[in-house]
Amino acid sequence: MLRHVGRGALFCALVGFSLALVGCAQNDAANNLAISGRSVGLTNAFPGVVELFVPGNRLCSGAIVSRFVVMTAGHCADQPGEFQVTTTQGTFVTEEEFDTGCTDVSCTNDLAFVVFDEPIAVEGQDQIFSIGGQVNQGDLVNVVGWGCTSTVTLAGTGQERAGTNTVAFINGFVNLLTPKSTVDNSSESSSTDTMSAKVRVMGDATAAGTCFGDSGAPLLKQNGNSYVVVATVHAGGDYDSNTYLSEFINDTTSSNMAWMQQINSEQNLQIVGL
């Protein structure tokens, strides 16, 4: 399998934004909390979006794109070891993955395929997504993931949430913007908070965003009666004092499609849409 050849810092300043890769949430049962005081959009409507436990006792998210494959962010696969996923078919473990070898915040191809040796999904039951199509500024998209529901406390992981947003701009990445909003929740109020307002991560039905643990989750665009994966959660952070930025790898670029098609062909992964 392909292995990473370099590691970037988890935090960096990029054209005025304060960004961090949003995978790598610790697999901590204490974070698996019910969140009060906000609408987090809990759902079970997307069985093809899965919680992915990755080496290092960390949590990411992913999209089932083949009977044998979960697509996720490359920085979720930056350590060797076991990957575990639970689907409608059961719990599965593997050590096999293929990634692009680029995990820095500036990388526009931070992608990986986690490969299982037995079927983890059933065709024809809305468990497997197709990759492809096009994504443009202004498109209505669905954000679905298993990461935290608060960028302040990092609580709420392990619950599938969904919301919608529109693509704000594309600059090598696909970007969504979420207004920060004050939350009446004493557990999230602290004089030491550096943010003057709290983000409704994955909660506002019309301006959903991402949080730690969402890395690798798909950005979905509706195509008729189904959804296709057009981008993959990469990073997030402050856009300005009033707005939170969610940054996605654009899966539909020619270079990313070429890499995915090559791995799919060489390894016979049977990925839908490639």
Alpha-carbon separation of residue 79 from 7, 94, 145, 271 (angstroms): 10, 13, 21, 24
User: Can you identify the CATH homologous superfamily of domain 131-250?
Assistant: Trypsin-like serine proteases (2.40.10.10)
* Cβ count within 10 A of residue 260: 24
Q: What is the pTM of this model?
A: 0.84
Q: Position of tokens 């500024």? A: 137
Could you tell me which residues are beta bridge partners of residue 51?
A: 61
pLDDT (tens digit, 0 to 9) for every residue of the chain, 274 residues total?
333 222 222 222 222 345 777 655 554 433 333 333 344 577 888 999 999 999 998 999 999 999 999 999 999 999 999 999 999 999 999 999 999 999 889 999 999 999 999 999 999 888 999 999 999 999 999 999 998 877 777 777 888 988 889 999 999 999 999 877 644 333 444 333 333 344 444 445 578 888 889 999 999 999 988 999 999 999 998 888 888 899 999 999 999 999 999 999 999 999 999 9
> What CATH fold (topology level) applies to the domain 47-128+254-266?
Thrombin, subunit H (2.40.10)
DSSP 261: H
Q: Residue 224 — left, alpha, or beta (φ > 0 → left; ψ -120 to 50 → alpha)?
A: left
Query: What 3-state DSSP class applies to 153?
Result: coil
| Residue 32 burial (C-beta neighbours within 10 Å; 0-12, 13-18, 19+) | middle
* Cβ count within 10 A of residue 65: 28
Query: The tokens of 177 are what?
Result: 């913007």
Spatial separation of the C-alpha atoms in residues 48 and 152, rounded to whole Å: 28
Domain ranges of the chain: 47-128+254-266, 131-250
Same fold, 47-128+254-266 and 131-250: yes
